Structure 1
């Protein structure tokens, strides 16, 4: 290796701080940004990287891993016995079938495609099933292969321009549904193919709502790829908002809702950056947009609604690493008003992150147990939930360690 090359944390045993510095630099992240995400000083980060202070405790290690979007905890700690895949869940049994459908274009098939209207009706049922099922990945994973193939064929076989645009809108939405299945699955390249295809199909459809949904998911894909993608997330998000803004005065509820969802997503990314003022400013704007929707309205894809804004406030506080504010917002948010089981489970996970930040691990574990009851597959594939559970399985408090271990066994992290 050249003396100027970046040392490889996979090949050479190193001090924790050196390994952290390498992973930070590979993300293109400055010490100042990392310090802000951790709620620490830049001097603290520098001292840790230079080995002037001892390696932090397990809770802080998890926070560093979260900030650096480390996939495997062993990459940060240098300890193979701490192999924890933080942000990628186990491969779902239906992943191979979904991948095969995405990768096949039906170039030689003689099968006739269903009409776009027929596929749209099936899609509507699939979204409802996703929101109501505790094993939502299993449910939509069973439906997706046929939906993907039929939607691709509908585009290929469309004869009139209006039919072609309608087929593109349906295909974009099928790909959007696919992204919910592929989140946290061990195939990042497949997720990116689907996200980008959804955006292309949406643009071809020329339908504002479809474009907004695809942009919403593409922005999330960028944001969840780490700090080096935050600018790309903002670019997609803000361009979609600029596109939708002129039609808002006469917009349908669905278009207004996707605009509100995109507005909140801009705040979500700002919170990830540690920008408190922008994060809450976007949340305030999104709340005003939610207030314009009927009280019982619930967006079928994003869950945007009046009922979701409390959960969104918890997410902003958690991403800003404010434990006290997270707990305050969690107390105000009513999870029972969220009709979607997976979205309700995700909200419980965000609440648990807030309790963990606030030094209330027992409440965090109890809240994760509620998330499991709402939708087991959500917690099983969520890296934040798994990190909290595994951390507390090593607690020195016997009762907490037992409860965390029991939950870990239910989730599938430990042998029962």
Structure 2
């Protein structure tokens, strides 16, 4: 290795400050940006990186890890006793079978293709199961291997251009379902491969709804990797494509446009652009209000019932404590029909209350998230960060409540 090569914080024995600087640079953040996102200054970050300040306490380490999307605390601290995963889940028991189905190359075409109607009905049932089951990852994981292979076989068996485009749209939806399942599993490259396959299938289908969904999922993957410019490029280009279609479009396409508009707002919020973030949210609210009262998009969950939940996330991403808590108190989770989306909203409410200095309310809200959909909170890095932070709280009662939640999530052993 050349002497000017960047050290690898995952292999080299480096000080905390050196690891912090390397990981921050890899995420493309300045010191001022990182400091602002954890409630400190750029000079404070510099002092940490140069060793003028000692390694901070665990609550601050957890906040830094959350911003940098560090998969494991030991990657940041260098302390192997802190081998705790944040944004990578424990690995679902059905993950190996799903990964094998995604990685298998089927060239022989020996698998009999189901009818388009049969495949569509199975996809519809799979999305319904995802929203209704508390153990939604387990349910989806059991369905995906056959769905993946059957959808690929349907594309191969298509005899006309129209049939092939319809089959590609169905295959894209299968990849979207797989991307939900594979998120936060211990194979990040697989998530990107699935996202790319979903985008390719959607583009081949020439279906605006499928293209919009592929862009929606790709945008989230970029933003969670802190590639904000890439997230904007995908979101805004797709919105330019969809906007002329909206006057004559059905509810599904308008809902996808609304979901993409929310994503643009969340990316702006991640940058700290308050006015832009709320402008996009206002535009998304207008699209939500154009939908039927009881409409709920089966993939994005976009609807009138979740627009308030999106407001909570915008405020949280802007690190506006008081506004976050106000939005959290205003947005009603019980109106959301999807169990995993309801649980995710509870987690966002918990982030808001924690940001506002209400840790007891945050822990109680996380307990509600666990009740709604245990598998959602189990794989959520924001929830894990709050629970681990409060497990070190000065209050014995709060430590006990946080530790009990940590054990239920598998973050700590009993």
> What TM-score, normalized to structure 2?
0.96
Give the alignment partner of residue 399 of structure 1, picking from 397, 400, 407.
397
What does 1:46-195 align with in structure 2 at a 5 Å threshold? 46-195=46-195
SS in 2 for 1:307: helix
Query: Within 2, Cα distance between the matches of 1:204 and 1:10?
Result: 39
Shift of 1:389: 1.2
Q: Higher mean Cα deviation, 169-178 or 230-239?
A: 230-239
Q: Does the 8 Å contact 1:105/1:152 carry over to 2?
A: no
Query: Within 2, Cα distance between the matches of 1:334 and 1:11?
Result: 46
1:27 is matched with: 27
Query: Within 1, Cα distance between the matches of 2:389 and 2:40?
Result: 21
Determine whether 1:280 maps to 2:278.
Answer: yes
Shift of 1:35: 2.5
SS in 2 for 1:295: coil
Query: Alpha-carbon deviations, 1:135-181, whole Å to 9, x = none?
Result: 00001111111111010000011001111010000000010011111
Query: Within 1, Cα distance between the matches of 2:38 and 2:111?
Result: 55
Count of aligned residue pairs for this structure pair: 414
Query: Within 2, Cα distance between the matches of 1:8 and 1:300?
Result: 42
Root-mean-square deviation (Å): 1.5
SS in 1 for 2:388: helix
SS in 2 for 1:355: helix
Query: Alpha-carbon deviations, 1:351-370, whole Å to 9, x = none?
Result: 11112212221111111100
2:371 is matched with: 373
Structure 2: 5+ residue runs without aligned partners? none
Query: Within 2, Cα distance between the matches of 1:68 and 1:190?
Result: 20
Structure 1: 5+ residue runs without aligned partners? none
Shift of 1:225: 1.4
Shift of 1:13: 4.5
What does 1:203-222 align with in structure 2 at a 5 Å threshold? 203-222=203-222
Query: Within 1, Cα distance between the matches of 2:47 and 2:200?
Result: 46
Shift of 1:332: 0.6
Query: Within 2, Cα distance between the matches of 1:8 and 1:222?
Result: 22
Q: Does the 8 Å contact 1:36/1:274 carry over to 2?
A: no
SS in 2 for 1:308: helix
Q: Does the 8 Å contact 2:66/2:381 carry over to 1?
A: no
> What TM-score, normalized to structure 1?
0.96
Q: Does the 8 Å contact 1:105/1:149 carry over to 2?
A: no
SS in 1 for 2:305: coil
Alpha carbons of 1:313 and 1:67: their partners in 2 closer, same or farther (altered >3 Å)? same
Q: Higher mean Cα deviation, 270-279 or 376-385?
A: 270-279
Alpha carbons of 1:415 and 1:32: their partners in 2 closer, same or farther (altered >3 Å)? closer
SS in 2 for 1:111: coil
Shift of 1:210: 0.8
Query: Alpha-carbon deviations, 1:292-339, whole Å to 9, x = none?
Result: 111111111000011101110111111112222211110010000111
1:356 is matched with: 354
Alpha carbons of 1:85 and 1:199: their partners in 2 closer, same or farther (altered >3 Å)? same
